[in-house]
Structure 1
């Protein structure tokens, strides 16, 4: 979904001819799949005890007030059946040049550690492990930052269109103040969620990943709806099924998943149910040892926010689907193509 809407704006900059679109676009997808395979291989070569020590929430590995975090993490993970010693965790941290590898969730550090040991071993010990670890971190940072940059640019353009309803000057992309305002608002928006993920007591991956998965596939469905509408407006509706079939599948899956994540009574699934579970702990005063009251309050807020965003995403998708249907039906009533590009506006 992200690629359909964001890369469609950046890919043309890499093309000298339309014939190159397949090589650049499909080739980019293949390269990203290669990165995913690298991540899986890197995770597989890491000792399971180290993997869980790196990717488990700090609140689980070492509750607030723990004196020796490394020893506590080793004891907890070993209790799960994956034996690991504090010395091993400390040794790996020293080798990669970090003060600690405990609860370094999110995937990037795990990939970096795995890549570091693979490259160190494959090249016969050329350069120490810490060099390859930081090389991998830099590799990931460039990969992530370029995606964030492209996403922020697209969000800024859309936000400026929206702000243009309030003030036409805010819509002008040649206006430096308007550009700075829209960019700042977009960065603050994703920066807030990034910060919330970092400070989340359970690790941001637990709350942000389901939201990301649903939203990303909803974007794919939205992109396919737009493709179908364009086909109708070009009077090529006989090909519209190519876009409509996957659209139907994506909408069924994402709207069902969104409903379940927002409203499921299961407190291991539904955002609101999870929030209610933690709120009940606060109200009863029965706070687990690994949490503080402020941490539980934060978890309540984060899950309610996720529920609100999920509902908002679902509403946007349904509204877009209705407008797409309306536009397609209107295009069918006209005998000639109605697709056209809007004139350039600075």
Structure 2
């Protein structure tokens, strides 16, 4: 698989949006994988699913050549127009035609996959190998505002049976997400950022295959159960690492777990899940700028959104909604103090999940 040939050391070392990292895979696959057919709902240039600008690669009538919009019926890049439901329904038909004959990849902003949800559900029901590239996946989309900012949508797709919903934290995890999507016998949705993310030291595509795995651990936590565990996804993972670093001390061990795919993590043994997320002696906090719905299965508290977003630059929005590392660290420290007695962690009971930004 071409994504496997792009080793971590060869990935861009500067911060890069995960939608652009996904485009690196498309650029590698397009010329060598004839089954690949990509397309977008009028957002081809924003979702990075086109690997060639040659007119012959655009799937449309060659009779349009006089208009300067000529294409070819052998083209493998489809401009669907603003028709999200039709786009995904067509992709279902392409995938169902014959196993492995066509690998459809369709794309739009994450929020707009809501319009296509019935067709996505049918793909999951039929176990069709379709890849959904869902970009601009958070409040970091910025000035487009709350109409474009998904807050609760991930909860819906995570709850849907028969689909892998993956939110990678950097370019390395994007390579892992693509590897899973290409090998799976079910549809996969990649939730990707508009804004640039740093390439993190602890990420690995092998870790992505496990669904959730530690990517940061302080020295104080290396020889035992950490006092604080942060779970995060996508853009917020590097924020969680900053928070963990702020809270790390000789007396407080911290760990950060990247969980790009809950469904894959849930398939592991109880022993592995306990190793990653200790149920005794550690307080677990989810950090994600979406709704917290679903995180109570894994964590005792969350740093999450509780309203629709706003129209403003991404940095201002993260600050406005409380996602600055310093602010999160203060709130997590208070949460830890409330649940520590005589240096012993008092793990909250079921139903005592706390929202730390309320």
- TM-score norm. by structure 1 comes to 0.26
Relative to total residues, which structure has the larger helix share, 1 or 2?
1
Greater C-alpha radius of gyration: 1
- TM-score norm. by structure 2 comes to 0.26
